[in-house]
Amino acid sequence: MKKALLIGCGAEIGSNIVLLSMMKNFGFCIDTIVNQTINNDKFFPNLNQAHSIAARLEMAHPLKINDVQVISENKISVFGNKIDLIFKSLQDFISEEIEKKWDIIILATSKSHLQDKMLINKLEKIGDYIFGMAESKIMTNIYPALLGFDNKFIQIEKIKPNQKSFALGSCQTNGWLAQFRSILYIMHELPNFSVRRVEIDIIHPDTPTGRLGTKSFSPREQDSRNNLRPSFSQIELAMKRIIPNIDAFHSVSLRVPVEEPGYQINKTYFTGDMTEEFIVSLEDKFRNFSNKYNHIASFSDLPLGSKAYKYRESICYILPKPYLKLNQDCFNLKPKINQIITQAYVSNVYAYCFNALKTIQFIAS
């Protein structure tokens, strides 16, 4: 069994990486977690930093009693698997002489760490493979939503021999790509098909660091209660990388005080010769794609609320008509430009982590 080091055990991504890696068989086991120091609560003097990690795990997923146990301040047990805990900053950790080596290192901390070449180089000395849970300008970006997929409209970075460091993209990027992949798969049969423009709107669930009180002018640090907050996404960075020759635009990202999954409205403008049979069978085509690639994009016949999809393993859940829309000849131009709108729930945590782990398993094996 391969051994893995997790850097950053936050309340969402890090915690779900730990739990899912133990609940499913991905061919490796996390035996060490590095996390920045956690301040203990003065009202609970008998509890320590390990209890804070345990609390994050307990809150991240429905668990049975004793699934997570604190052994000492530097060790916990998850489903019977012991994990060593190291509480220090990442910079302090890598500045020391580290004798232990890991097969896999998962970096689930700040996005800025994935842009730090010196940091990545140091991690490569103690790990066979490094995986970052975000977009990166210096690492090879391999998106779980595109694994095993190739298409002339997208540019996918290739895995080169002896390559060690990979970024797995953001949750929003993978949510968009899951839908975009289904559209390209369905539309490729159209004569003269071409993608002209992509537009994306996002409703982003709040994170555990969401404020109950305004700290600054930054929307992320403003009170989340009764307050729609304009935010941003890493998705534009990915668009420029994946579809550099297509006009792509990310217009709206709103943060709202709800749990995951989030919601995306994707508008893809295209040309192509559509028959009446193609138009009538559009829902069936999405349903067929879902049956074949269920872990990528599911097609839901029930337009349920977001809570129904929180613990499912598909990257996104595309909704049926009337949320699925096809508008023909939008601008009365020649050639005719059509628009397809998909609306989907996008996993920001659970399925994002599940598919990231599947991608890690694929590359590391």
- For residue 34, the domain's CATH number is 3.40.50.720
Residue 142 lies in a domain: no
- From 133, 162, 185, give the residue that closes a domain: 133
pLDDT digits (tens, 9 = 90+) for 245-278: 999 999 989 999 889 999 999 999 999 999 999 9
User: Given 77, 111, 133, which residue is the final one in a domain?
Assistant: 133
Residue 191 sits in the same domain as residue 281: yes
Do 306 and 200 share a domain, yes or no?
yes
Range of the domain at 280: 173-349
Same domain for 195 and 296: yes
Contact 339, 330 (CB under 8 A): yes
182 shares a domain with 125: no
90 and 189, same domain (yes or no) = no
For the chain, what percent of residues have pLDDT higher than 90? 82
Please indicate, yes or no, if residue 143 is contained in any of the structural domains.
no
Cα angle 109, 115, 117; round to 5: 110
Name the burial class of residue 30, with classes exposed (0-12), middle (13-18) and buried (19+) by CB atoms within 10 angstroms of its CB: buried
Last residue of some domain: 133, 159, 187? 133
Q: Is 34 found in the same domain as 100?
A: yes
Whether pLDDT at 307 is above 80: yes
Q: Provide the terminal-to-terminal Cα distance of the chain, rounded to the nearest Å.
A: 11
Q: 215 and 124, same structural domain? A: no
Whether residue 148 is contained in a domain is answered as: no
Residues 215 and 277 in one domain: yes
pLDDT tens digits along 280-299:
999 999 999 999 999 999 99
Report the number of distinct structural domains present in the chain.
2
- pLDDT tens-place string over residues 312-355: 999 999 999 999 999 999 998 888 999 999 999 999 999 999 99
Question: Is 272 part of a structural domain of the chain?
Answer: yes
- 108-166 confidence digits (pLDDT tens): 998 899 999 999 999 999 999 999 999 999 999 999 999 999 999 999 888 888 899 99
Whether the model clears a pTM of 0.75, i.e. scores above it, the answer is yes
138 domain residue, yes or no:
no
How many angstroms separate the CA atoms of 94 and 96, rounded? 5
CATH, residue 216? 3.30.360.10
Concatenated DSSP letters for 207-250? -TT-BSS--SSSGGGSB-TT--EE---THHHHHHHH-TTSEEEE
198 shares its domain with 342: yes
Same domain, 307 and 194: yes
Distance, in Å, from the CA atom of 77 to the CA atom of 31, rounded to the nearest integer, reads 10
Residues 119 and 249 in one domain: no
Buried b (16+ CB within 10 A) or exposed e, 108-143: bbebebbbbeebbebbeebbebbbbbbbbeebebbb
